[in-house]
Amino acid sequence: MEKLDSGLISIFKSTESAPEIMQSMKDISSLAGVLSDLGAQNFFQTPGEILRFLRLIQLLNEEALGLDDPIENAETVYYRYRNRYDDLEPPSKKRVEQIINVLVKNNWISKQTRRIKMRDVGKRMMDALIRLANDSLAYYMNDDIGRALFQARRDADISEAYDDNGISGGNKIASMIRNVQDAIALLRERELELLADRNALPQLEIIHKLMKDLEVKLEERYRQFQTVEDSLVLTDLMQRGTAVLAEGTNLSLGMINKYVKFTNMQKTPLTSTIQPEKVRAFISNMFDPPLDSDIPNAHQLLSFMEQNQYEDEAIDGLWIPVKFAAPLSPLAIDEAIEYLETYEPAVEPIVEEESEPEYATEEMSEEELESLMVESNWLLTKNMIDTTAIEAFFEKQEEAPLEQVIIEATTDQWSDAINALTAISALVSNKKVTITTDEQNREHKVFDKKWEWMKDGDGSDIIKRRSDGKRDEKSE
């Protein structure tokens, strides 16, 4: 919950010019570059070609994870593919070499002397493609209702994996609720079909179980967001989701009850005694039965008669109970039917207003451009090297010997000394500080440390902070 309280990490809430945003957009650009290059070389003409590409990157992925032997070159990938997969038309050596070259071009992998090595961006992009393909496979293995419920379950899993860890999953709670709504709409459309199907009980039980699981998942999501500052914004969404899941659970439970009721009714012996009050109450309840009730409505009752379980019970046509307002003449009914069949709504033509684009020019001097480039390079350097401790030290004093800067800004440990020297190098290269030899041979403070200089006097070099005026004067 501490991660949630600090706000979710999202590209839509980050500063556009932040170095992290630039790097993440470069990753997306590399993915687009791979797909574009492979598409231009006709690698994605058929689903079979796409599957072969995914198999090839899976071989590279397994090697990067340490699950397989190292890969020396494209020929190794070719023979490993033929040994692994039973493909009647495996890709040729030339085709494998082309794919490897495309991945190298877009920095997914790197060719070394005797090994092909996976880069971090390549591993993450390959994982994303493989997960996308597996999710799609699991999605299409369900029927229409099961697909919507499967996607709702995946939304709950993604929200749990991302939102709970401080990374935005992309409005997955709203997506989950929308998928459940679509599943309920499909369930209503196929209600008669499922009730008339003699083998639909297992499917109804699966749908009901998924509804119950999703209801539990949504309650877990709601508890996770109860302490977040923006929980008031989510209140309406969570209430709507709770109502939708309750409706879906009751609807699936009602269909199971009706299915079992009809099955039992067929095996119940009939008696000659009729109680008019019970018949009247049954007919009244058929007009508006509750969602979880086992009382069928008129459509459901008549649909069972079409199964022709009794001789001459089924007839050609469709059972549609209709209410007519009396009195209505045959001519009025004919006119109404003709009106409905030939009705065309009158709509106003859509008038599209084309607006001319306005272009604006922005000019800057060579000095301003150079200053902007220097500042951009400095931000990228700080993103990779932590210079905070050294900068904080020089905020308090103008100059100090190299050894004093390392010890007082960090610690006396060897690892901190290495990091401090790296940070000082970054500051010197970006003209934030200067380093000069101590020509006066002044006495310096001796520090007790866990390491030693290779040459005496290396730690006596003077590090001095550069002022803005000096930097400007130097640049001029």
* Average pLDDT estimate for 252-260: 79
Give the domain-ending residue among 138, 159, 184. Answer: 138
Residue-level pLDDT at 476: 39
Backbone angles phi, psi at 436, to 5 degrees: -135, 160
148, 286: one domain: yes
Task: Give CA–CA dist 188/192, Å, rounded.
Answer: 8
Q: Assess if residue 310 is contained within a domain.
A: no
The answer to whether the beta carbons of residues 450 and 414 sit under 8 Å apart is yes
Residue-level pLDDT at 248: 81
47, 120: one domain: yes
Q: Assess if residue 404 is contained within a domain.
A: yes
Single-letter amino acid code for the residue at 457: G
For residue 9, the cross-strand partners are 167
Q: Assess if residue 446 is contained within a domain.
A: yes
Strands 462-465 and 399-401: antiparallel
The b/e string for 41-63 (b: 16+ C-beta within 10 A; e otherwise) is eebeeeeebeebbbbbbbbbbeb
Q: Assess if residue 355 is contained within a domain.
A: no
* 178 CB-contact burial (10 Å; exposed 0-12 / middle 13-18 / buried 19+): middle
Residue-level pLDDT at 5: 43
147, 293: one domain: yes
Task: Give this prediction's pTM.
Answer: 0.53
For residue 433, the cross-strand partners are 465
Give the domain-ending residue among 258, 283, 305. Answer: 305
Give the domain-ending residue among 305, 327, 353. Answer: 305
298, 158: one domain: yes
300, 154: one domain: yes
Domain count, the chain: 3
Kindly tell me the sign of the dihedral angle through the C-alpha atoms of 456, 458, 459, 462.
positive
131, 170: one domain: no
296, 272: one domain: yes
Instruction: Quick: pLDDT tens for 369-408.
Output: 777 777 777 777 777 777 788 888 888 888 888 777 777 7
258, 234: one domain: yes
The b/e string for 122-153 (b: 16+ C-beta within 10 A; e otherwise) is bbebbeebeeeeeeeeeeeeeeebbbbbbbbb
Q: Assess if residue 127 is contained within a domain.
A: yes
For residue 422, give its domain range.
Answer: 372-475
59, 156: one domain: no
261, 288: one domain: yes
Give me the chain's average pLDDT, please. Answer: 77
Backbone angles phi, psi at 11, to 5 degrees: -65, -20
63, 32: one domain: yes
Kindly tell me the sign of the dihedral angle through the C-alpha atoms of 157, 160, 165, 170.
positive
Share of the chain above pLDDT 90, in %: 0
Instruction: Quick: pLDDT tens for 97-119.
Output: 988 889 988 888 888 878 888 88
Task: Give CA–CA dist 249/257, Å, rounded.
Answer: 12
218, 87: one domain: no
Q: Assess if residue 324 is contained within a domain.
A: no
Q: Assess if residue 326 is contained within a domain.
A: no
Q: Assess if residue 332 is contained within a domain.
A: no
